[in-house]
Structure 1
Amino acid sequence: MAKVYVIGTMDTKGDELRFAADCLRRAGAEPLLVDVGTKARGEGADVTAAEIAAHHPQGAGAVLGLDDRGAAVAGMAEALTRWLVARTDIGAVLGLGGSGNTALVTQAMRALPIGTPKLMVSTVASANVAPYVGPTDLAMMYSVVDVAGLNPISRRVIANAAHAVAGMARHSLAEVAAQKPGIGMTMFGVTTACVTMLREALEATHECYVFHATGAGGRSMEKLADSGLVSALIDVTTTEVPDFLVGGVFPCDADRLGAPIRTRLPYIGSVGAVDMVNFGARDSVPSQFSTRNLYVHNPQVTLMRTTPDENRAIGEFLVERLNRMEGPVRFLLPLGGVSAIDVPGMPFHDPAADSALFETIRAGFVTTPHRKLIEVPAAINDRAFVDATLAAFREIT
């Protein structure tokens, strides 16, 4: 039977971790107690902190015995991640702890494939959990009381968590061979028409997984790619890049487009919705942008038109990553407009800004037998652009 990895600091949370392990055994699961205490004083673990720390690229000395607790926790997180992803007997992972241990254990959990059960019982789970969950299927449970001793409340919460992961480990869905290959797609409101036509053209032969490009969406799509759950990417909506570079509320991270670099998956991309940076309500737009071209999309979302300089930076970000892709690549430029509101008569129509974007990509793009730049004299939501994207997809898949 695959094991349930119970991870925490045995020196301070030993009673709670052992209680969780007992609950798992009674539920018919096999626990494995893993100590990640940076002082290496825990007792009773199946896997000691020293064993985990030894997986740090600089050795256990980069983790244990440090005076700087933050550095020690960061080092243990890296060591745990490297150790955990190499395991082949994981049925589920259960973490218990406060803010430091939550950051440590969830970093390692996020490195596991989508579908591997991951549950973190944490004192911070009632706050903003986005930094801990990221683009994964990691679940968090609020501990209610601190994970600092066993009492009637903590016993109930920990037991519920243990029984939940025992169920996930013991009753996982049998692997079913996909009837159709999967495709990851990115979409935003202003590229919906394009992606809808692409999906309708491909869904008879492919499973189409559409991701809302709101920061987490792009990361989630790339997590699926890294996990081997899609066979190609149709990434026409790279709008998270301007938010990352300019400071919007839907940013990607520095690893955007990293998955096709690592996996060499067929990649079809474009510049959908890079004409905008996203903010919240109109009064939430930073004061330095008050004189910019702003468009109130709805009461909760305000869009800001990107400038030529910003578009040059966006183009440089994209082309640097495209040139590192060694798998089959087709990148399309919609010369008639990059979104539904970047066409003649619409509020973000700005030929100078689009020209700066296109020229930057043209100048930096390195064409090879497997990597090609395709210019389409149409807007991104036009049928002609969709047809060109479909032709590129069929050429490389």
Structure 2
Amino acid sequence: MGRAYVVGTFDTKGAELRYVAGLAAAVGVQVGTVDLSTSGDPADHPDDVDVSATEVAAAHPRGAGAVFTGDRGSAVAAMAEAFEHWLTARDDVAGVLGLGGSGGTALITPAMRALPVGVPKLMVSTVAAGDVSGYVDASDIAMFPSVTDVAGLNRISRRVLGNAAHALAGAVRDPVPPADDLPAVALSMFGVTTPCVTATARGLGAGFDPLVFHSTGTGGRAMEKLVDDGLIATVLDITTTEVCDLIAGGVMSAGEQRLDAIARTGVPYVGSCGALDMVNFGAFDTVPEQYRERHLYRHNPQVTLMRTTADECRRIGEFLAAKLNACSGPVRFLLPEGGLSVLDASGQPFHDPAADEVLFETLENEVRQHADRQVLRLPHNINDTEFVDALLREFHAVREAGSPAAAVGQPAGRQTGGRE
């Protein structure tokens, strides 16, 4: 079953951490306690924990001296790095539960994010009721609002901490049975490419396990985290629209690292230009002033779309080409000449063949093509049946050309920890 780790700064939250560890152990879960205190004062480091702060700090690339600096800010940042190295090096992690305020949450969650998706991760935090995207990002951390401060045991904190302890114990003691051995296929989707992605997922048939990700920034990062975790056999990156938001300053960028996991792992990859005709903003009055005179489309009261220009399409193409050129695995990138989305079809508000052509020509000119890296034009809209057929045909081609692991349906790359 592995071990459930209860982690935090025992110099300030020892009573709460011991309470949680005791509850989890009382229901038969093997528990390990980990001290993340950063003071460096031996008097502040209890001797009744399983893993001392000194042991964790020693996992820092520059040693424990990089952690115990005497400066709280640098010490917390360095301990976070040390804890990530320490935790990810273990093969017995069945789950992790952390307690903390804003500092403790920032200290603990980077290591949680580095664990594979599926390993239970619970964070009881004073900041859990606000915007937690900076702590959770693309991982599956469950944030528990502490309600009262994590500053002693009382009638409220005992209930909240107890619920968290029992949630961790239940997840560790009764794990979800493993999925079947079908190879997992990642697909990226947006509302304006839904017909294509839905038909493609259906067309994969019963021999694959399709995982669809919404291309909202977090979705792209989540997809690539699973690629890095070795949980994805093949990627059908139909909707690369997050790159538009990176280039033009929209609200759904997945960051500069988009497609880097594809390059790192060599996973077989089929991509396309899904929704590269649009940049995403919130409600109409949130569109930046410099874009107010651009071609805007009110998708709904909370989402405003902006048509990409020819210059933006050129820069998008250059970004994608550089990423595709870094890929060592088999790559196909399909260009839908009939439009990049529902809105880019003939007669629709974003139909702009000239801008699309700049994108296509940039990709064709910049991608270094060979037998295993090809850019292919098709005279169809991305949502047409014929385009779906082409995606499925190239999907099978890259799988056949891919690594031996992918060819037999098992993803390559980093595997999950001891829990699995």
Confirm or deny a common fold (TM above 0.5): yes
TM-score by length of 2: 0.90
Moved more, 293-302 or 255-264: 255-264
Equivalent positions of 1:1-397 (< 5 A) are 1-40=1-40, 41-43=44-46, 44-67=48-71, 69-178=72-181, 180-397=182-399
Match of 1:341, SS? helix
**Structure 1 runs, 4 residues or longer, greater than 4 Å off:** none
Q: Distance in 1 between matches of 2:396 and 2:39?
A: 55
Q: Distance in 2 between matches of 1:116 and 1:254?
A: 27
Q: With a CA cutoff of 8 Å and minimum separation of 6, indicate the structure with the bigger relative contact order.
A: 2
Q: Distance in 2 between matches of 1:359 and 1:74?
A: 45
Moved more, 113-122 or 80-89: 80-89
Q: Distance in 2 between matches of 1:123 and 1:172?
A: 28
Does the CA contact (< 8 Å) of 1:9 and 1:42 recur in 2?
A: no
Q: Which amino acid aligns with 1:77?
A: A
Match of 2:305, SS? strand
Does the CA contact (< 8 Å) of 1:14 and 1:42 recur in 2?
A: no
Output one character per residue of 1:268-323: Cα deviation in whole Å (capped at 9) or x when no partner.
00111011111111122121111010001111111001112222221122111111
Q: Distance in 2 between matches of 1:184 and 1:239?
A: 16
Q: Which amino acid aligns with 1:160?
A: N
Output one character per residue of 1:184-225: Cα deviation in whole Å (capped at 9) or x when no partner.
101111111111221121132211111111112112222222
Does the CA contact (< 8 Å) of 1:268 and 1:393 recur in 2?
A: yes
Match of 2:344, SS? coil
Does the CA contact (< 8 Å) of 1:55 and 1:82 recur in 2?
A: yes
Residue 227 of structure 1 deviates from its aligned partner by 2.2
Q: How many residues align?
A: 395
Residue 243 of structure 1 deviates from its aligned partner by 1.2
Q: Which amino acid aligns with 2:54?
A: A
Give RMSD over aligned pairs: 1.5
Q: Distance in 1 between matches of 2:370 and 2:62?
A: 38
Moved more, 37-46 or 314-323: 37-46
Q: Distance in 2 between matches of 1:156 and 1:247?
A: 43
Moved more, 109-118 or 251-260: 251-260
Residue 392 of structure 1 deviates from its aligned partner by 0.7
Q: Distance in 2 between matches of 1:71 and 1:383?
A: 55
Output one character per residue of 1:351-394: Cα deviation in whole Å (capped at 9) or x when no partner.
23212222221222012332211121222112222222111111
TM-score by length of 1: 0.95
Match of 1:106, SS? helix
Residue 86 of structure 1 deviates from its aligned partner by 1.4
Moved more, 219-228 or 297-306: 219-228
Q: Which amino acid aligns with 1:81?
A: E
Q: Which amino acid aligns with 1:345?
A: G
Q: Distance in 1 between matches of 2:328 and 2:370?
A: 10
Q: Distance in 2 between matches of 1:356 and 1:62?
A: 50
Moved more, 374-383 or 106-115: 374-383
Match of 2:343, SS? coil
Residue 126 of structure 1 deviates from its aligned partner by 0.6
Match of 1:29, SS? coil
Structure 1's unaligned 5+ residue stretches are: none
Q: Which amino acid aligns with 1:24?
A: A
Residue identity (%): 55
